[in-house]
Structure 1
């Protein structure tokens, strides 16, 4: 077969360092979400939905067949950190070292998109840690509490 084809959907989640609420300003948050989508697109990882709240983000993207997940996340974080630090009051901005990246079935794209879109609602009911643990549980992912919250 002379053509290589791939469509792998991933749901990536990461927090600000120490879950500091750097993204309280909604207009700044919206700008950052747009910037994150642009970062993904430049890496040939088509964004489907980007969202989040004051201390974490969710990206639903199509992973390019030419990039590893770790490289994708590293570049998105690196570029968006530089962008954020140029904003007033964001000089100390940083993302947490780790991340979660979970596969998404094509049949679940709309559900995951809605979940990301409604982050404000979810956040009123539970903390980022509770939400993240639930996502990991639902995807059968094991984690170590000593290291997941850096």
Structure 2
């Protein structure tokens, strides 16, 4: 008997200090680069989106790799890629940490729709509010004072 998996993750992470660093002129190319990074790790990108201060990724990942390793490599590689772009006027970094939530195959369409409508969603909700809601919805314990880096406290 063979081994079969369907390991889908909704991954969310922000820019350092949530600076609006993902400018529209480069956003699609960044997303393409991240998709290539996921494919290089034996995964497949299902959907990607976000706004200037964070990204949402819906991906099917290989069971042979740890989610933490995949996310670490995607963040590191895409940071280097962003810093090589002349359009970026300040050093680019992702914030430490990330959220990764499993997604049932039957929920993929609704998560895709959610990611595709980020611009609209964030007209009324900040990234911080959205992220806290994700953690609460998934029963993840956290301390708010340790959740986000800011420029004053790192």
Alignment pair present for 1:16 and 2:27 = no
Task: Provide the rounded CA distance (Å) in 1 between the counterparts of 2:136 and 2:85.
Answer: 36
User: Aligned match of 1:62 in 41, 60, 63?
Assistant: 60
Match of 1:29 in 2: 27
Alignment partner of 2:136: what SS? helix
Shift of 1:33: 1.1
For 2:58 and 2:131, locate their aligned partners in 1 and report how far apart those are by CA, in whole Å. Answer: 15
Q: C-alpha root-mean-square deviation of aligned residues, in Å?
A: 1.1
Can you give the 5+ residue segments of structure 2 that lack an aligned partner in the other structure?
150-154
CA contact (8 A) 1:51 1:116 kept: yes
Structure 1: give runs of 5+ residues left out of the alignment: none
1:118 CA displacement: 0.4
Task: Look up the match of 2:92.
Answer: 93
Pick from 65, 68, 71 the counterpart of residue 69 of structure 2: 71
Q: Measure the CA separation in 2 of the matches of 1:96 and 1:10.
A: 19
Runs of 4+ with >2 A deviation: none
TM-score (ref. length: structure 2): 0.92
Deviation at 1:91, TM superposition (A): 4.7
Q: Distance in 2 between matches of 1:134 and 1:146?
A: 15
Aligned partners of 1:117 and 1:127: how far apart in 2? 16
Residue in structure 1 matched with residue 39 of structure 2 by the alignment: 41
